[in-house]
Structure 1
Amino acid sequence: MATVAGAGDLPPPLTAADFLEFDKAQAALGHSLFYDTILSGNRNIACAHCHHPDFGTGDGLSLGIGEGGVGLGPKRTTGTGLSRIAKRIPRNAPGLWNLGARDLDVMFQDGRLSRSDIFGNGFNSPAEEWLPKGLNSLLAAQAVFPLVAQFEMAGNPGENEIIGAVHDRIDAAWPIISKRVRIDEKYGPWFVAAFDHIDASEEVSIVEIANALAAFMAQEWTSIDSPFDLYLAGDTSALSSDQRAGMALFYGKAECDSCHSGPLMTDQAFHALGLPAFGPGRTRGFDPYARDVGRMGESNRLEDAYAFRTPMLRNVALTAPYGHNGAHATLEAMVRHHLDPVAARAIWTPGDAHLPDAPWLAATDFVIQSDRLEMVRQRRAITQKPRHLEDAEIKQIVAFLESLTGTTVDDPPFGVPKWFEP
């Protein structure tokens, strides 16, 4: 590994060999499915509504607007009348960059999906032993869960047969979604053509749907040509002087690489950074109010309270706002929070969150902030010790983070289909 003045070892560059291989015909099928509302309970939202390339494969909001919302990105509204949203999505919509990496072992902010054979299907997931076998990757396993999430894509009880099945058992909904897709005059024959083991559309299951989605996402959003990657590959002119200085800080004095380590720039572990709490939270069945305990919700270990997964950083400049709940609007604000979480919490205000107006949810949007004991618990869980950097040094780190943006992100293999209607 290369070294840089004032810093430790740098990771090797990412290459195509670091990623799983996926079938191009299946990716083309997944491309269409990703932008199609056919996978949602009420046929009114697609994967792309929360993960759109115009917003860095996120949605530009602190907390997403799922089922019942109207529009796209930061201008997406919360709906009206009986179709309005019943709840904000509890966590920020993450970017989809480099999710086909071979070394990726865990997904979701709390790590509730990971590679494991504990249930005999290759994954430890919320579906446990009911997750079907045959999924081609961790990314494919991830793809099936938004489809059966009430506030993301499935809809509210009484609205459609998919959400009704979900409330019976999570795996009961996937055959309904699969049938809807395979009887479609476009998709049925397409699956037969794209999958060698499929001889008739009747054989299409949620496994093939998820594998096609994974093939698309992996091929569309693999990003390994940022200026930083070019620098790691030997092009020392790829970074500006400020970016090189920021890199030295990132891998040196600021110790950012203590968590954002390795080629993927993540330790795939969980850390309590004390981001300001708001929104409905990803509550457990016995939580008395809107809060999010992070990794502890999956592990049931007190030492995991309020800890969230370290994200990968390629194209991070495109994926604002930042944090598991999108608390910070800019990279500079997020860097400053890492340097001193307690101080950052003290100056944060609700106005810093980007939440589309929903008056019927306003009473709970920030209610957690008024719980003094919960705020104490969250501050106490913070493990990050304060570090001082000058303003100029912070700007250099931001400049380095901006160097992680791929040079070909605006020219993906597939792009947004012309028929997609936000």
Structure 2
Amino acid sequence: MSASRVLLGVVTSVALLGACGGENGEGTGPIAPALDQELTALLEAEGVKPVEKPAAQDPGLVELGQLLFFEKELSGRRNIACSTCHHPMLGSADGQSQSRGQGATGLGPQRVHGDKSLFLARNTLSIWNRGVKGWDTMFWDGRLGGNPTDGYISPAGDATPQDFSNALAAFFIIPITPDEEMRGFPGELDVKGNANEMADLTNDDFAKIWPLVVARAMAVPFYKDALLAAFPGKTEADINVVHLAEATAAFMTDAFTALDTPFDRYLAGNHGALSDAQKRGALLFYGRANCGSCHSGALQTDFGFHNIAAPQVGTGKGDEAPLDYGRGRITLKEEDRFKFRTPSLRNIELEGPWMHNGAYANLEDTVRHHLDPEAYLKAYDDKQVEPELWGTYQSSEETRKLLLGSLDPLLKVEGARLTDAEVSDLMAFLSALTDPATLNQLYLIPDSLPSGLSLDD
């Protein structure tokens, strides 16, 4: 047992001695100081420290990136933008279990399939705090990542540009490439009735697709002038996909950094920022419930990959569909099958459905699955995903054995299972990870686009 777990047991007796707080136990009696003493000691033992905020972004670059983020001119059929899957009003994601990509219309849960559209196999990750220093891994399977010191890796291999300022900027080069995401399928005209010059390329033609996307932007006078102004000394011929990526990343960093939560205020020394229930939940999270073993630190992620026996529901991915091997698809190692990157839990309330495939429509069910994967896997009902995906849950005993056979050993509760009251406290703590300033980001949506294309999806 770790030193922090021993510490937890010792100080818990102190907390119980002071458990004579006011009505509902919310910090009006001796319990609050005891909770604070216990929690601050545990956080220190677990190395949970305030998160360093990213440097302020250049306002001009942010303004340019904001427009590019919503700009459909960058997609092959001029019908989809970064914001389609990472919308400010949908928790910087899209509110779907699995994203509907190219060919679908509408936004979020109201997005519907067209003739050729399909699901993209995985749930859209949010982009909260991706500009924070040290956030070097992107996507559920970690197929893209890096930093200026160590370099960058991506599915593009040797063609991956190496002059990004961070992994968030590098992230831009991937969604614009696949036919099922932003590039579009062969034979389909764009929304203006024109041919799509990107459509006949393949998903592996990264180095050919990126210049075509840049050419789209540079053909719009506003973007050409803004890009040249944002990168002094560069000529029209110099502007490449990295410059579009840097501008978009500046906007995403500025817009989606969410580090003024009650928990952040508590870490900064304001012990009144958390309710007693939230403090008890934090003690469970970093203590007996063992959540902090993977959701570690102040961002609640170790940036690693773990098999939590998430229900295999939905389309699946690659040759192993309807299963999804996750990290194993990248490393090709059997021991990495069914592992997915630990998501940060910042603003976790805002970005459901949850799990790598959006298997759970309810956050508490997601938490309870972590606490008892075997029971929740066996009882899983796929009626909580999109109707088109009903009946796709791989419920065979063989599949369950595969998932549970390599279940991460860190996924366990120390001692007795959590009571309903303790789960309630755990949920209260998760609510303390929501930044109130992000609850309404309607102001981020521009009034119009330089291309003249519609903002509506």
Q: 2:281 & 2:400 partners in 1: Cα distance?
A: 33
The answer to whether the 8 Å contact 2:382/2:392 transfers is: no
Correspondence 1:18-417 to 2 at 5 A: 19=54, 22-79=57-114, 82=115, 84-85=116-117, 87-115=118-146, 122-159=151-188, 160-167=196-203, 169-199=205-235, 201-283=236-318, 287-353=319-385, 355=386, 357-358=387-388, 366-367=391-392, 369=394, 372-384=397-409, 385-387=411-413, 388-410=417-439, 415-417=444-446
User: What percentage of aligned pairs have identical amino acids?
Assistant: 37
**Given residue 78 of structure 1, which amino acid in structure 2 is its aligned partner?**
H
**Given residue 333 of structure 1, which amino acid in structure 2 is its aligned partner?**
D
The answer to whether the 8 Å contact 2:60/2:230 transfers is: yes
- For these two proteins, the number of residue pairs brought into alignment is 403
Aligned position for 1:15: 52
**Given residue 256 of structure 1, which amino acid in structure 2 is its aligned partner?**
C
The answer to whether the 8 Å contact 1:328/1:334 transfers is: yes
Q: 1:370 & 1:163 partners in 2: Cα distance?
A: 38
The SS at the match of 2:145 is strand
Q: 1:288 & 1:266 partners in 2: Cα distance?
A: 28
Q: 1:371 & 1:172 partners in 2: Cα distance?
A: 43
Select between 410-419 and 165-174 the one with higher mean Cα deviation: 410-419
Uncovered stretches (5+) of structure 2, i.e. residues with no partner: 5-34, 189-195, 449-454
Deviation at 1:245, TM superposition (A): 1.1
Deviations 1:176-199 (A, max 9, x none): 111111111221111111112323
Uncovered stretches (5+) of structure 1, i.e. residues with no partner: none
Deviation at 1:42, TM superposition (A): 0.7
Deviations 1:243-285 (A, max 9, x none): 11111111111111111112322111111011111222232xx
Q: 2:198 & 2:161 partners in 1: Cα distance?
A: 17
Larger radius of gyration: 2
Q: 2:440 & 2:383 partners in 1: Cα distance?
A: 35
Change (3 A) 1:410 1:349: closer
Change (3 A) 1:158 1:131: farther
Aligned position for 1:5: 38
**Given residue 102 of structure 1, which amino acid in structure 2 is its aligned partner?**
K
Q: 2:403 & 2:152 partners in 1: Cα distance?
A: 30
The answer to whether the 8 Å contact 2:178/2:203 transfers is: no
Deviation at 1:169, TM superposition (A): 2.0
Query: Structure 1 residue runs of 4+, over 6 Å off?
Result: none
The answer to whether the 8 Å contact 2:147/2:165 transfers is: no
TM-score by length of 1: 0.89
Deviations 1:320-352 (A, max 9, x none): 111111111122111101101111111111102
The answer to whether the 8 Å contact 2:153/2:160 transfers is: no
Q: 1:309 & 1:239 partners in 2: Cα distance?
A: 28
Deviations 1:371-420 (A, max 9, x none): 55334312212124553100111011111101111132146696111233
Change (3 A) 1:115 1:21: farther
